[in-house]
């Protein structure tokens, strides 16, 4: 997982997927996921699709409702990581039990991560690399 930069515009210092972001015009979601892994973590990976989900949730400003289509992929990489320090403060591996303990203790997680966690998508994706 990655800890978002304390200087990030949205959800600073929140735990999040190990790479994520938007899809550029004309880019398919698989290439976007691989590009984001390189941009944010400095690693080259080949991703495998897990699924797609549509969510609505309050944004950083609770008066703004975000509507997103998430394309979820998994990948394996053991490091070393070279995170973009403008976007990522920390990269760390956690077990699924450790993540649940963090959630239970009130650690801050990006809402999209929590939505997928609550649906069981992360836990049920065998060999899911966060």
Which CATH number goes with the domain that contains 62?
A: 3.90.79.10
Please provide the average confidence, as pLDDT, over all residues in the chain.
Answer: 90
Residue 38's domain comprises 2-124
User: Mind listing the pLDDT tens digit for each residue in 80-117?
Assistant: 999 999 999 999 999 999 999 999 999 999 999 999 99
C-beta of residue 65 within 8 angstroms of C-beta of residue 56: yes
Q: Looking at residue 10, what is its pLDDT?
A: 84
Whether residue 20 has pLDDT greater than 50: yes
Structural domains counted in the chain: 1
Q: Summarize the confidence of residues 110-130 as an average pLDDT.
A: 77
Q: Summarize the confidence of residues 34-38 as an average pLDDT.
A: 94
C-beta of residue 36 within 8 angstroms of C-beta of residue 130: no
């Amino acid at each position: 997982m990655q800890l978002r930069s304390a200087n990030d515009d949205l959800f600073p210092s929140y735990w999040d997927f190990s790479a994520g972001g938007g899809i550029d015009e004309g880019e398919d979601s698989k290439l976007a996921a691989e590009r984001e892994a390189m941009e944010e973590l400095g690693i080259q990976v080949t991703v495998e699709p897990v699924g797609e989900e549509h969510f609505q949730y309050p944004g950083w400003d609770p008066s703004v409702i975000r509507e997103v289509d998430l394309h979820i992929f998994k990948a394996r990489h053991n490091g070393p990581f070279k995170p973009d320090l403008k976007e990522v403060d920390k990269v760390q591996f956690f077990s699924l039990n450790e993540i649940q303990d963090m959630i239970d203790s009130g650690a801050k997680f990006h809402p999209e991560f929590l939505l997928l966690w609550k649906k069981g998508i992360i836990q049920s994706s065998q060999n899911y690399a966060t």
